[in-house]
Amino acid sequence: MPTRSKRFRPLRRTRIALRRAILRLDQNPPAWTRNLTPWSASLITHLILIILIAILAFLNPVANQDDGDPGFQARMADQLTDDLTTLDTLDQSGDPFTRLDDPTPSLPIDPTAIDPEVVNVPELASRFGPELKQSPLEWVVERPDRLMLGQAPMATQLGSQAQIAPFSGRSASMKAALLRREGGTAESEEAVERGLQWLLRHQGPAGNWSLNCAPHCTEGPCPGNDQMISDTAATGLALLPMLGAGHSHVEPGRYQTSIDRGLTWLKGAQQPSGELFLGGGGNARMYSHAIATMALCEAYGVSRDEDLLEPARQAVQFIILAQNQQDGGWRYQPGDAGDTSVFGWQMLALRSASLAGIKIPDHVVTGCRRYLDGAAADPVGATYSYMPGRKPSLVMTAEALLCRQYLGWRRTTPALRSGAAQVFQDLMTSGDRNIYFWYYATQMLHNLGGKPWEHWNTRIREGLIANQIQGAGCDRGSWDPNSPQPDRWGRSAGRHYTTCLSILTLEVYYRYLPLYQERDLRPLSPPPPSDTAD
């Protein structure tokens, strides 16, 4: 267990009260300042703030000491100099990028006051409860060494414990705080919004999407592709970034109808076995099912819509029954001996289910660990291969290490740090374009944090923003799978695939709470023995 500082509770409460006073004073200066000239009002207000900050620093002499506690600590990302919460200039704010000096307060906590015509990211207040009435920067997380499956994640809030919703990082208030803290920018969120708009323009009349986006284009002419077919995968891939950005089919917003139509199509496509794959390339079957399962589980987790619970459970059960009982993996067809690529998507689906409250049996998780042990390409499990017994692959290493994180490996686990260092070095030196690799590696490095994450984040964030299609054509907001250089898998999977994974990569800051300092973390089942966890 990590050692925690023993702090005098009155001082702690005083610091929290001062933080709140600073936030309120910064956002709502006293009325008497309105009678002053702008420069004098600003000077007096900021002098008061400086005095309060100095008092806070005096009361917190251990603030700069690293005691090993990975609690949620607020800090401003270097690239954001303005405090932002909404993308649009609106009379009613609420998107993650409205300036806090706007005279109109951010989106009201009361969900009935939401105007869907002007609000981009609705506050999921009815889902996430009264804790969102306070600034997320005021929360202090008391994280146990391990949080087990089925136990509610807890956060210490002003000295009392309160449960925090698993997907609360996507809410407007929390999203803004995480963007600042984790390395997002106004430009990265603008790129996300442009990408979502591209998806909106390419949804089919039945509510589905296709990997070949041309047939569903509402503007045209639209560059498409015809190499791969899986409407199940395409629909799941489109829904995930919409849900990841904080949208829902039960909350007013500009993507509400689109999400609802997509989910309705998925439910209609589901077979009695729970399978969601409708047909296409044979190798796409389990990939497609896992991606669509993630979408159903996350939509249920955000909305608590009971109409989604049973379809999500059935989809998860199909994954459970498809697991290979010998090696614990998954591949193209149910029961196949596993490969790490297909395995990773099933693991992500199982984690989304777990976060949504759907129980994952212990024997399934045990099998997942067994597969990763077999796919390890070295004795300690720092690197991994595409299939057990083959040579190591850094792409598979990134995917497998992310799965290890979700199964309970600590940030300090030597094998995790060694493998992550190799992934980081390759990412920073390779000129190859591979959004599949970037998607997994970005999540894994974001969970670890530190300087490697900061360096990689700057590179991937700015690179994706720069390569997004601009202009007035129908392809605006998408990512070209063949330019400025061919993507490793985008050449066959197409523009839709490349665009969805690019958006998801840019949502890494808030889509899930930071793994080692989050409120929604719990390994899928009890951790492995200590001799293998560290």
Domain 177-525 class in CATH: mainly alpha
Query: What count of residues does the chain have?
Result: 534
What is the pLDDT at residue 139? 30
Domain ranges across the chain: 177-525
What is the rounded distance in angstroms from the CA atom of residue 288 to the CA atom of residue 275? 10
Residues facing 157 on adjacent strands: 160
State the pLDDT at residue 527: 42
CA distance 57 to 79: 24
Residues with Cβ within 8 Å of 510's Cβ and at least 6 positions away in sequence, in order, are: 169, 170, 174, 175, 178, 179, 182, 184, 246
**pLDDT at residue 491, as a whole number:** 77
**pLDDT of the residue at 214:** 80
Give me the pLDDT at residue 226, please.
Answer: 58
Give pLDDT, residue 409.
Answer: 94
* Predicted confidence (pLDDT) per residue in 385-400, tens digit: 999 999 999 999 999 9
Q: What is the DSSP string of 64-75?
A: T---S-------
CA distance 72 to 394: 30
Would you say the C-alpha torsion 267, 269, 270, 275 has a positive or negative sign?
A: negative
How many other C-beta atoms lie within 10 A of the C-beta of residue 146?
15
One-letter amino acid of 139: W
Query: In a 10 Å sphere around its CB, with 0-12 CB exposed, 13-18 middle and 19+ buried, how is residue 383 labelled?
Result: buried
b/e for 269-292, b at 16 or more Cβ within 10 A? Answer: bbeeebbbbbebbeebbbbbbbbb
Phi–psi pair at 20, nearest 5 degrees = -65, -40
Q: What's the chain's Rg over C-alpha atoms?
A: 23
Residues 381, 385, 388, 390, CA torsion sign: negative
Q: Are 236 and 315 in contact (CB under 8 A)?
A: no
The predicted structure's pLDDT at residue 167? 87
pLDDT tens for each residue of 5-37: 444 556 666 666 666 666 565 556 666 555 555
pTM for the complete prediction?
0.71
Count of CA atoms in the C-beta half-sphere (13 A) of 496:
35
Task: Determine whether 39 is exposed, middle or buried from the number of CB atoms within 10 Å of its CB (0-12, 13-18, 19+).
Answer: exposed
In which residue ranges of the chain is pLDDT below 50? 1-7, 61-164, 518-534
Residue 515 is classified by DSSP as G
Instruction: Report the alpha-carbon distance of residue 406 to residue 355 in Å, rounded.
Output: 11
- List residues bridging with 392 in a β-sheet: 385
Q: Helix (H, G, I), strand (E, B), or coil: what is residue 436?
A: helix
